[in-house]
A and B are shown apart, each in its own frame.
Chain A
Amino acid sequence: MVFVLLALSVLIFYLTRGLLPPTTALAPYINPRLTDAGKLSIARAVGVATSSCPSFSDFAALQSGCVTPLWTQYFFWLKNVLAGNWGYTLLPGISGTESTWSVFFGRFPYTAELDIVAAVLTFMIGVPLGIVSATHNNKAPDHLSRIVSLGGYSIPQFWFGAMLLLVFVLYARIGGLGLLPASGALGTTCAVCFSNPGAITTYTGLPLLDALLSLNIPYFWDSVVAIILPALTLAITSLGLLTRIVRSNMMEVLRQDYITMARSKGLKERTVIYSHALRNAILPAITVAGLLVTYLIGGSVIVEIVFSWPGVGSAALVAADVLDINFLELFVLVAGVIIVLTNLIVDILYAALDPRIRY
C-alpha cells in the first residue's frame, strides 16, 4: 500500500517536473524584482539547479550541468514532503503567497463536507432503489429504478448541476422563492453569516458539522441550504454503480435456498428481505466504497466549478491554468492516500462483518 503511494508520487513527479521545464517549479517563488543571482539561489534552494550553475539565464536555457537530474530532484522533493514541506503555491491564500499545505487544507474541509454529504445521500437513495428493483424484478418499480440509476450514470455532472441551478435558482428567483444560492458555501437565509459567522468551535474541521455542534443554528441552516444542490448533483450521478450492485446481489441472494427456508418458517416477507436477504447482499456492496470515493473526489472538481464551491476541486482548475504544480501534486497525493485508506478499511470491515472469514 505504501508502495502504491510511493509509486504514485514518482508518477506524478515525473509528469509535473519531468515533462515541464524546470522553471515551472520556481513560479511561486520568483517575483520580477529579484535579481538573476537571487533567482538562481532560489532555484538552488528548491533543488532544481545545481550548485555549479554559473547564472540563472544558463539555467533557464537548460544548459547541461545546470539542471539537477530528475532522480535527485525527486529525492530532494520526497525528503521535503515527508517532513511536511510542500513548498509554496501560486493560488491566493489569506495573505498573498502561502504554503501549499495551508492553502490546500484551508479549502479542503469544504470539499470534504460536500463529499461526505453526497456519500450519505448516495447510500440513502441508492440502496433502497436497489432493493426495490430486486424485489419487484421486471415490474414497474424495477424499470423505474433502473432508469434512475442508469440515468444518473449517463448524465453529465455539470449539466445536471446546471439544470438544478436553473430550476431552483433562476426560476425560483423569478418566482420569488430565492432560497438557494447560486454560488458559494453559504445560502441566502442568513444575511450576516458571511461577514459575521458567529461562534463556531472547531470540532471536526467541517464547517457544516462544526456549526451544528456549536449550536450555531443560523450558520448551520444556511450551510445546509447551500450544500443541498451540489451534494445532490454528486449523489445522483454516483448512485448508479451502487444501485446496480445492490440490485444484482439482492437478486442473487433472493434465489438462495435459505430464503425459501425463511419463508417456509412463516416469517413476514419484510423480515425475509431485510434480516435475511439484505444482510447477505449488502456485504459485497461495501467493496464498492473505494470506487465511490474515487468518483466523489473526481466529481467534486466539476461540481465545485458549477456551483462555485470553495473547495479544492475548483482550485485545482485554477492551479492547472497557472501551472501550479505544488498544489496539484499535493491534491493528487492526498486523494491517493484517501482512496488507498478507504480500500484498506473496506477490506478490514468486510473481514470483520462476515462471520465466515472471521473464523
Chain B
Amino acid sequence: MSQANTHEGGDDVLSIQELRLKFHTYAGEVSALDGIELSIKKGELFGLVGESGCGKSVTALAIAGLLPPNAEITSGDVFLGGKNVLTLKPEEMRLARLRDIAMIFQDPMTYLNPVITIGNQMAEITRAEPKLFISTLATHRLRQIDKLVGGTKSDPGLLAERESLTHALESQSLGRKELNELTRSYSVSLLKSVRLPEPEKVFGMYPFELSGGMRQRVMIAMAMMRRPKLLLADEITTALDVTVQAQILRLLKDLRSEINTSVLLITHDLAIVAEVCDRVAVMYAGNIVEIAEVGELFRNPLHPYTKGLLASVPRADLERTPDSIEGSVPDLLSPPSGCRFHPRCPKAFETCPLKKPSMIEVAPNHYVSCLLFGG
C-alpha cells in the first residue's frame, strides 16, 4: 500500500488507485476487488455499472470506511480531495464521513431506524459535531429572517433572533436549544427541497409511515444536509417503481447542480446511466473493464463485456430478442486467471487466461482494460 498521504489529482474529488480487497470467510478468501482504478471530478455524475456481486457496493463501502470486519484491503489508495482515506484514523474517518462523504442506500426501509422519528434521525447529524454546522445553520436561518423582515413592519422577536444569530456566527458557538431549533428549521427546508409534501409533518413521523419513494427522499435530504464533496448512491432506485425512479433521478440532478456535489451512482440498470450520468465505468468481477463518457460508451462500446451488456438490454425498436452473455458470474473464491472475463468472452484468445490486462486510453477519455486493445 502506498504511503503517500496526499496526491495531486487536479480537481479530482475522488481518485481510486489499484485498490485490492478481499474478504475472509469461513469458506475461504474471496477476492472482491482486483486492482480497480477510477477518478471522479468535481461536480461530476459518475455511474458505476455491473451485475450483482461484481463489487460495486464494496467499492462504495471501501471509500466510506464502512467495510465489515472480515474485509482486508491488501493494496491500493483511495484519495478523497487529496487525502488518502485509507490511512486515516477511525476518528478522522468518522469526521470525513460527516463532512465530505454522504452515502445513500438501496432499501430505505432497512436503512432507517424504525423506532426513531425522521426528525431525530436528521437532527442527530448536527448534534454529532455542532461546530461544523453553525455557519450553515445560522446563515440559512438568517436568510429566512431576511426574507420575512422585508417590509416596514419588523417583528422585534425576529430582529432579536437575527442579533443573536449574527453573534453566534462570529463567536462560532451555539446554545443547545438554539441548535435544536435551527436544525429543525433547516431540516424542514431540506425536506421541502427534496419535494416532500408537508415537510413539517414528515419531520415528526416514523419511517414506516412513509412510502418507499418518500423515504428515499428523506435519505437524500439527510445526505444534502452535510453538503458533501462526494455522494455515494448505491442502487438507490432499485427498490422503487419506475415513475418514482424518474423523480428521484431528476431530484439528484437538480441537487447536483445546486450544491455542485460529485455523485458516484452505482446501479445495474444501464437505462439510468444513460439518463443522468456524465461518465460511466463498467465493472466485472472486481475489475473495472471500461470507463468512458456516457454518450461515447453507448455509441462505441469497446470491451466485449460492455458490448454484451448493451446487447442484452431489451429494446422496443429492434426486431430481435436480446442476447444474453454466455456463462455465469465467476466464483470469487477462485476467480479465473488472467482476465476474469475470458471464460465468457466471445473474443477471447490464448493470452487472455495468462495475462491480466491493464487500463489503456484507447480514445480521448475512453479507457478499456482488454488485451484486444493492448494493455
Tell me the A residues contacting B by CB distance below 8 Å. 256-258, 260-269, 271, 275-276, 279-280, 283, 354-356, 359
Contacts and interface: CB of A to CB of B under 8 A. Distances in A.
B209 A271 contact: no
Contact of B111 (A261, A268, A279, A283): A261
Most chain A beta carbons < 10 A, residue from B103, B113, B127, B209: B113
Q: List the 10 closest pairs (A to B, CB-CB), nearest first.
A: A266-B98, A266-B97, A257-B110, A264-B103, A261-B111, A258-B113, A257-B111, A267-B128, A355-B206, A276-B113
B195 interface: no
Nearest to A262: B113
21 contacts: A257-B105, A257-B110, A258-B113, A260-B66, A261-B113, A263-B94, A263-B97, A264-B101, A265-B97, A265-B128, A266-B128, A267-B98, A267-B124, A268-B128, A276-B113, A279-B113, A280-B114, A283-B115, A355-B206, A359-B206, A359-B209
A342 B94 CA distance: 43
A266 B94 contact: yes
Given A266-B94, A271-B124, A261 B105 contact: yes
B239 to A, nearest CB: 12
Contacts of A256: 110
Nearest to A280: B115
Contacts of A260: 66, 105, 111
Given A280-B113, A280-B114, A280-B115, A265 B99 contact: no
Contacts of A268: 94, 128
B91 to A, nearest CB: 9
A212 to B, nearest CB: 33
Contacts of A264: 64, 66, 97, 101-103
Most chain B beta carbons < 10 A, residue from A261, A267, A280: A261
Contacts of B112: 258, 261
Contacts of A356: 114-115, 206, 208
B233 to A, nearest CB: 12
A271 B105 CA distance: 20
Task: State which size class the interface on B falls in.
Answer: 20 to 34
B67 to A, nearest CB: 10
Contacts of B102: 264-265
Contacts of B97: 263-266
A11 B226 CA distance: 65
Contact of A265 (B125, B206, B208): B125
B114 A266 contact: no
Given A265-B98, A355-B115, A355-B206, 18 more contacts: A258-B110, A258-B113, A261-B103, A261-B111, A262-B113, A263-B66, A263-B94, A263-B97, A264-B101, A265-B97, A265-B102, A265-B222, A266-B99, A267-B124, A271-B127, A280-B113, A356-B114, A359-B206
A263 B222 CA distance: 13
Interface string B145-186: 000000000000000000000000000000000000000000
A354 B125 contact: no
B129 interface: yes
Nearest to B209: A359
Contacts of A261: 103, 105, 111-113
B293 interface: no
A354 B98 CA distance: 29
B278 interface: no
B111 A275 contact: no
Contacts of B96: 266
A330 B209 CA distance: 49
B95 interface: yes
Contacts of A279: 113, 115-116
Contacts of A267: 94, 98, 124-125, 128
Most chain A beta carbons < 10 A, residue from B95, B110, B124, B222: B124
B64 to A, nearest CB: 6
Interface string B83-102: 00000000000111111011
B269 interface: no
A257 B235 CA distance: 14
Given A261-B111, A264-B66, A271 B116 contact: no
B100 to A, nearest CB: 9
A265 B107 CA distance: 16
A279 B124 CA distance: 15
A188 B102 CA distance: 62
Contacts of B113: 258, 261-262, 276, 279-280
Contacts of A257: 105, 107, 110-111
